[in-house]
Amino acid sequence: MLGFVRIWHEITRRSVADEYERFLVERASPDYKSVPGLRKVFLL
């Protein structure tokens, strides 16, 4: 089965980096994982 990869590049200020990381882990990642057919989410 063929698929695709979406790469999202984001730049944020260091002063809010911890808050943004928390948002990605607690809110964005679960939202992404709810998409039908999505296999994996990687946050690097």
Q: Which residue has the tokens 């200020």?
A: 13
Please state, in angstroms and rounded to a whole number, the distance separating the CA atoms of residues 3 and 25. Answer: 24
**Helix/strand/coil (H/E/C) assignment for every residue in 1-44:** CCCCCCCCCCCCCHHHHHHHHHHHHHHHHHHHHCCCCCCCCCCC
Please state, in angstroms and rounded to a whole number, the distance separating the CA atoms of residues 16 and 24. Answer: 12
- pLDDT, residue 3, reads 76
- pLDDT, residue 4, reads 82
Give pLDDT tens digits for 1-15.
Answer: 677 888 889 899 999
Give pLDDT tens digits for 22-43.
Answer: 999 999 999 999 999 888 888 8
Paired tokens of 43: 């946050």
- pLDDT, residue 44, reads 84
- pLDDT, residue 6, reads 84
